Copies of this chain bind each other. A is one copy, B any other.
């Protein structure tokens, strides 16, 4: 099968002329109806980019299916006509994973918005790909359950997009990321076949194709129906805010809390620049303007456990030099403490253009890396704010700059790349929860050698042998970006340039 289907680069037609699209569009209309196909240039503008707005490419056509069967038919038409296609949910992705490619069909899942089955007894819910993350919790919260992964965009982003990028969130320190909450997937693979992987129980026999698919950024197919694990709403939640005069003290506190055997649901660190922006713009009154760091720590579970843990957390904060420690006494106070963290980017964006980055480091390297990031900022002449998931070492440096200054964005991109290389040098990663997409593919060789990257191509060649599904994402093209000559020397997978 595989050897028959691997297309040579020439088989992928790079361009379909306008007349060709006029011929093909009715085929899609026959599947999803006239209203399900977007062709007018001004309407296509909306789909030019996802939330990584620095990359733009208009798709040739947008198709909005409503069912798995329609997705399968749409993909089949693409397969038969050798048309590249890209899947998009709400377009909140920050790495350009849903960025169209030239002459592609963009398959948008927003009309696939049905919750198909709620099974509270077995703690499962089955949803279509376009269901908004937050809707899942809304559908079950009255019954005492919720869906754990909570990316910042959770009121807008889709479960399908969460799966493509293996989305994380503030509470993934304790609860894990998307892959820890998905049991089964109905997939449409690039030849238009419908495949079921995983199921409703936790561990299924055979290869873990569910896990392989999650985080594959649309390059292996489209998940159309998704079985999620839902969990009991905790009996109690405790939230603690502590401020520090040094980053070191905050970093030490993080280490000591983990060492004490406490696994907070969330443990967020904000630095001085972020704090000032929050208080200048939002004015929460909770975050002292002169602090060099605040820690926002949340524990959840049984009431007795939460009561004990939040006192212990407060004590550890004090022992490590916290000036003020606030324990939220009620839900209103809790929301108030979170307000700052949740509006941090809005506050920073109000004051300046910014470029948000996403990297991971081993938690023990936190203080050293934050210092080095600050030094890199000074070297390039930019201020960098930091609001990070400290518990799992997931950094979110925010480079502040003026977009109107010629050349500034290019410099910021370079600085941003240096920060990610630093993450890799200390044993971390170029992406925590935003994905690789179009943005970071050239940095993949910083983390993986040729053999490791070649091996990763195997699933793609198997599932997506003609390279029609989300081409040009995730992996460098050619393998080391800008080192075309090297690709030829590799021998192995030299035909990958097609992707």
Determine if B492 and A1 form an interchain contact, defined as CB atoms under 8 angstroms apart: yes
Encode contact with B along A355-366: 1 for CB under 8 Å, 0 otherwise.
000001111100
Encode contact with B along A188-213: 1 for CB under 8 Å, 0 otherwise.
01000111110111111111110110
Q: Which of B166, B200, B206, B448 contacts A436 (CB 8 A)?
A: B206
Task: Choose the segment among A15-23, A302-310, A317-325, A398-406 that binds chain B (4+ C-beta atoms closer than 8 Å).
Answer: A302-310
A179 to B176, CA, bound (A): 13
Known contacts A208-B179, A261-B232, A430-B205; A197 and B452 CB within 8 A of each other: yes
Residues of B within 8 A of A193 (CB): 451, 455
Q: Which residue of B lies closest to A262 (CB)?
A: B302
Residues of B within 8 A of A197 (CB): 452, 455
- What is the CB-to-nearest-CB distance from A59 to chain B, in angstroms, rounded to a whole number? 25
A416 in contact (CB, < 8 A): no
A462 in contact (CB, < 8 A): yes
A6 in contact (CB, < 8 A): yes
A288 in contact (CB, < 8 A): no
Q: Which of B199, B215, B429, B461 contacts A199 (CB 8 A)?
A: B429
By secondary structure, the A interface counts as: loop
Residues of B within 8 A of A455 (CB): 189, 193, 195, 197, 209, 463
Q: Which of B122, B307, B449, B451 contacts A362 (CB 8 A)?
A: B122
A459 in contact (CB, < 8 A): yes
Determine if B261 and A235 form an interchain contact, defined as CB atoms under 8 angstroms apart: yes
Q: Which of B307, B393, B451 contacts A194 (CB 8 A)?
A: B451
A208 to B475, CA, bound (A): 14
A293 to B193, CA, bound (A): 46
A427 to B199, CA, bound (A): 8
Q: Which of B215, B308, B475 contacts A304 (CB 8 A)?
A: B308
Residues of B within 8 A of A474 (CB): 205-206
Residues of B within 8 A of A215 (CB): 203, 205, 207-208
A209 to B456, CA, bound (A): 7
Determine if B121 and A255 form an interchain contact, defined as CB atoms under 8 angstroms apart: yes
Determine if B204 and A447 form an interchain contact, defined as CB atoms under 8 angstroms apart: yes
Determine if B216 and A207 form an interchain contact, defined as CB atoms under 8 angstroms apart: yes
Known contacts A205-B429, A207-B216; A462 and B458 CB within 8 A of each other: yes
Q: Which residue of B lies closest to A178 (CB)?
A: B203
- What is the CB-to-nearest-CB distance from A145 to chain B, in angstroms, rounded to a whole number? 10
A264 in contact (CB, < 8 A): no
Determine if A432 and B207 form an interchain contact, defined as CB atoms under 8 angstroms apart: no
Q: Which residue of B lies closest to A196 (CB)?
A: B452
Determine if B362 and A200 form an interchain contact, defined as CB atoms under 8 angstroms apart: yes
Residues of B within 8 A of A203 (CB): 166, 168, 177, 179, 215, 360, 429, 432-433
Q: Which residue of B lies closest to A233 (CB)?
A: B261
A170 in contact (CB, < 8 A): no
A426 to B455, CA, bound (A): 38
Determine if B456 and A206 form an interchain contact, defined as CB atoms under 8 angstroms apart: yes
Residues of B within 8 A of A431 (CB): 205
- What is the CB-to-nearest-CB distance from A48 to chain B, in angstroms, rounded to a whole number? 25
Chain A positions 440-499 with a Cβ under 8 Å from a chain B Cβ = 440, 444, 447-449, 451-456, 458-463, 474-475, 492-493
A205 to B423, CA, bound (A): 13
A144 to B261, CA, bound (A): 9
Residues of B within 8 A of A433 (CB): 203
Q: Which residue of B lies closest to A232 (CB)?
A: B261
A10 in contact (CB, < 8 A): no
Q: Which residue of B lies closest to A475 (CB)?
A: B206
A349 in contact (CB, < 8 A): no
Residues of B within 8 A of A302 (CB): 261-262, 305, 308-309
Determine if A436 and B205 form an interchain contact, defined as CB atoms under 8 angstroms apart: yes
Residue in A211, A360, A444, A460 whose Cβ sees the most chain B Cβ within 10 Å: A211
Determine if B1 and A3 form an interchain contact, defined as CB atoms under 8 angstroms apart: no
A73 in contact (CB, < 8 A): no
Determine if A458 and B2 form an interchain contact, defined as CB atoms under 8 angstroms apart: yes
Residues of B within 8 A of A1 (CB): 454, 461, 492-493
Residues of B within 8 A of A381 (CB): none
* Between-chain CB contacts (< 8 Å), 5 pairs: A122-B364, A177-B202, A200-B427, A203-B432, A208-B212
* Chain A to chain B: the 8 pairs with minimum beta-carbon distance, closest first: A3-B3, A211-B211, A458-B462, A305-B305, A232-B261, A304-B308, A205-B431, A121-B364
